[in-house]
Amino acid sequence: MKWATTINFILGLWLIVAAFAVSHAMNPAMSVEIAVGIAIAGLSGAAAFTPVDEAAVLSWIVTLSGLWMLVAPFVVGYAHRMSASASNDAIVGIIVIVLGCVNTVTRGTRLAA
């Protein structure tokens, strides 16, 4: 499912932009958003151009990155201080998790067939 990979790529880029647009100063939220945004965009971009079996592995890593975006505000400790960043990270995390799972399952099904 190239569309799921493409959307995850765009969401990774959004996290990088949101780090500067939503987070107003260098803080833990900004660092997490930039690092994970680069990881999601890079891995999604790589998954779009790799064979099916390798793309499934990359999609799992993207899914785990989405999970980290979902829990990062609570683990890193910016959930209460920076509600806009935390909300953005949670929403993006959920979407990345869903699309990553869809992408992994569909690519894994093609591999088994």
The tally of domains found in the chain comes to: 1
Buried-exposed string 37-63: b where 16+ CB fall within 10 A, e elsewhere? bebbbebbbbbbeeeeeebbebbbbbb
Please give the pLDDT value at position 112.
44
Question: Beta strands of 1-113 (E only): which ranges?
Answer: none
- This prediction has a pTM of 0.87
Please give the pLDDT value at position 15.
94
Low-confidence ranges of the chain (pLDDT < 50): 110-113
Residue 45's domain comprises 2-112
Please give the pLDDT value at position 1.
62
Please give the pLDDT value at position 62.
94
- Tokens in use for 79? 């959930």
Q: What is the DSSP annotation of 27-73?
A: SHHHHHHHHHHHHHHHHHHHHHTS-HHHHHHHHHHHHHHHHHHHHHI
Please give the pLDDT value at position 79.
80
Please give the pLDDT value at position 11.
96
Angle at 84 between CA 19 and CA 2, to 5 degrees: 60
Please give the pLDDT value at position 111.
44
Please give the pLDDT value at position 43.
94
Sort 13 into a burial class: Cβ within 10 Å, 0-12 / 13-18 / 19+.
Answer: middle
